[in-house]
Amino acid sequence: MLKIYNTLTRKKELFQPRVSGKVGMYVCGMTVYDYCHIGHARVMVVFDTVARYFRYQGYELTYVRNITDIDDKIIQRAIENGEDYGKLTERFIDAMHEDERALAVLPPDLEPRATQSIDAIIAMVQILIDKELAYVGTNGDVFYAVTKFKDYGRLSGKNLDDLQAGERVDVDLAKRNPMDFVLWKMAKANEPAWDSPWGLGRPGWHIECSAMSTCCLGNHFDIHGGGMDLQFPHHENEIAQSEGATGEKFVNVWMHNGFVRVDDEKMSKSLGNFFTVREVLKKYRPEIIRFFILTSHYRSPLNYSDESLNDAKAGLDRLYIALRDALPDDKIPENFIVLDDYKVRFEQAMEDDFNTPEALAVLFGLANELNKAKKHKSENKIVLTATLKYLGGLLGILQDEPDAFLKGKRHSIIGDITISITPSTTMKLTSGDEYIDQQIQARLDAKKAKNWALADKIRNDLKDQGVILEDSPDGTTSWRRE
RNA sequence: GGCUGCGUAGCAAAAUGGUUAUGCAGUGGCCUGCAAAGCCAUCUACGGCGGUUCGAUUCCGCCCGCAGCCUCCA
């Protein structure tokens, strides 16, 4: 029984798909004028995890995540760069897809772009004008008349009187009401523009999402997601546009993920306190970032710091160490069994509004059992390993070979350029590993000769290079990177 | 100012009206030549004040503190 917190009702609700066995989910994606930061990574990972879980539950999911590839910031950045805006957005779309692959985020089923949805946008604006929910302002821009939509403010718990009392809205003389928002914006000279009944221009941001979601999923669909900050005005405006245009209910469940913070402040471009995914990938491997994001509930704030990333690394190491040497060749048997009690606990956690921290606690419990089974040479270790890896897979983690993960460089071997590699290839063993094996052999010889001083020196030297040696009871030595 | 939400041990982070969260770190033990890893044990908690209750970290009220939104933002 899957329960999801619905922003619209501020309650956890039992999830009931509109059509039995099917789910339509739309998530507001990126505006592509710069590299993705960790906040964007959180949206991708959170909703990827949600999508994976729906599929695991047997739902036929259509997951749509749009791309905003035309807006003021894109135009401004293109001018600054002296670059064609289309070239600019192509570059950052490619970069986004690289980041996505690195984080083991499965691509959405559909990825509509605003610039490829202009016809649908114009059609929707026209309907809103016909229904007198929208009007052409004195400057030629088309605006939505907010007061004409009776439920305006319901999602964000605001009402128009309060908003106007806030007095933080620029007074735009072209609008009838300061809260009215733009649906179609007239183009200035040399700006990218599309022909429309109201003249050359481009769509407003909010109408893009209404048009694209409706195009892909129909007038009424199950889930709409995005960051907390989109609640108002973006999602509020989407409801006004879509319900205004179609006369139908727009979305059943609204899901909003919490922010990534730095020093207790929202990570954002405007504050300038953001870390891009590729920056962080220089220090930490992609799976560590994904694990870090999953350590907190998706609606809670997530504080970004080196300390928390190091903790994530340590936790993930523990899981991989448990998986290491659990099976003769690290291969899960073909017809493996998943231990039911762990599976049930894991599912209970996930079905309680996607409680990934709790789900991870189940994995740690499993790791503890597995370590004991290994110690006692119990055959149970096979089924425990299979279960741990299987449940980890549902979260998009623990799919690497344990040795590849543990011996992989702490930071990705990818420079600025080649992040477009899958997580497992980033873990490829490097040539320096032969040297490590030689040193381990030398140390084993020294140990045999009871030359502890030499043995310890070798171990300490390797430690200084970030390599940790671990002797096992059978006389062999394994190693991993710090 | 209005509207949301949050405040859990050294750090991170869940659940819960009475019973072990979990991870990292610390302490003691086992294991080890010594370590590391692992296993066992263990110390640190529920912002403050009231109320409801046999009993509240958990429900209610007030206060304090923090964050987000009210303008583009995941």
Question: In total, how many domains does chain A have?
Answer: 3
Task: Say if residue A89 is in the same domain as residue A22.
Answer: yes
Of the given ranges (A35-44, A89-98, A123-132, A155-164), which has the lowest mean pLDDT? Answer: A155-164
Q: Indicate whether A284 belongs to any domain.
A: no
Task: Say if residue A398 is in the same domain as residue A435.
Answer: no
Q: Indicate whether A424 belongs to any domain.
A: yes
Q: Indicate whether A293 belongs to any domain.
A: no
Predicted confidence (pLDDT) per residue in A263-312, tens digit: 889 999 888 899 999 999 999 999 999 999 999 999 999 999 999 999 99
Mean pLDDT of chain A: 91
Closest alpha carbon to C1' of B14, residue = A358
Of the given ranges (A80-89, A293-302, A334-343), which has the lowest mean pLDDT? Answer: A334-343
Reply yes or no on whether the pLDDT at A25 is more than 80: yes
The nucleotide whose C1' lies nearest the CA of A169 is B71
Chain B positions within 7 A of any protein Cβ atom are 1-5, 11-15, 21-25, 31-40, 66-74
User: How many whole angstroms separate alpha carbon A229 and alpha carbon A210?
Assistant: 17
Task: Say if residue A14 is in the same domain as residue A81.
Answer: yes
pLDDT at A421: 33
The nucleotide whose C1' lies nearest the CA of A365 is B22
Task: Say if residue A96 is in the same domain as residue A199.
Answer: yes
Measured CA A453 to C1' B32 distance, in angstroms: 16
Note if the bond before A473 is cis, omega within 30 degrees: no
The nucleotide whose C1' lies nearest the CA of A259 is B74
Task: Say if residue A17 is in the same domain as residue A82.
Answer: yes
User: How many whole angstroms separate alpha carbon A407 and alpha carbon A419?
Assistant: 19
The boundaries of the domain holding residue A444 are 417-481
Task: Say if residue A145 is in the same domain as residue A42.
Answer: yes
The nucleotide whose C1' lies nearest the CA of A324 is B37
Q: Indicate whether A266 belongs to any domain.
A: no
Task: Say if residue A355 is in the same domain as residue A389.
Answer: yes
User: How many whole angstroms separate alpha carbon A61 and alpha carbon A311?
Assistant: 34
Task: Say if residue A157 is in the same domain as residue A236.
Answer: yes
Task: Say if residue A249 is in the same domain as residue A341.
Answer: no
Q: Indicate whether A35 belongs to any domain.
A: yes
Could you tell me the two tokens for A279?
Answer: 């920056």
Measured CA A125 to C1' B24 distance, in angstroms: 53
User: How many whole angstroms separate alpha carbon A210 and alpha carbon A239?
Assistant: 8
Reply yes or no on whether the pLDDT at A389 is more than 90: yes
Task: Say if residue A242 is in the same domain as residue A186.
Answer: yes
* CATH number of the domain within which A139 lies: 3.40.50.620
Task: Say if residue A445 is in the same domain as residue A331.
Answer: no
Task: Say if residue A51 is in the same domain as residue A149.
Answer: yes
Q: Indicate whether A272 belongs to any domain.
A: no
pLDDT at A411: 55
Closest alpha carbon to C1' of B1, residue = A166
Predicted confidence (pLDDT) per residue in A35-80, tens digit: 999 999 999 999 999 999 999 999 999 999 999 999 999 999 999 9
Cα Rg of chain A, angstroms = 26
Measured CA A300 to C1' B45 distance, in angstroms: 20
Burial pattern A379-413, b for ≥16 Cβ within 10 A else e, equals eebbbbbbbbbbbbebbbbbebbbbbbbbbbeebe
The nucleotide whose C1' lies nearest the CA of A166 is B70
Reply yes or no on whether the pLDDT at A425 is more than 60: no
pLDDT at A442: 95
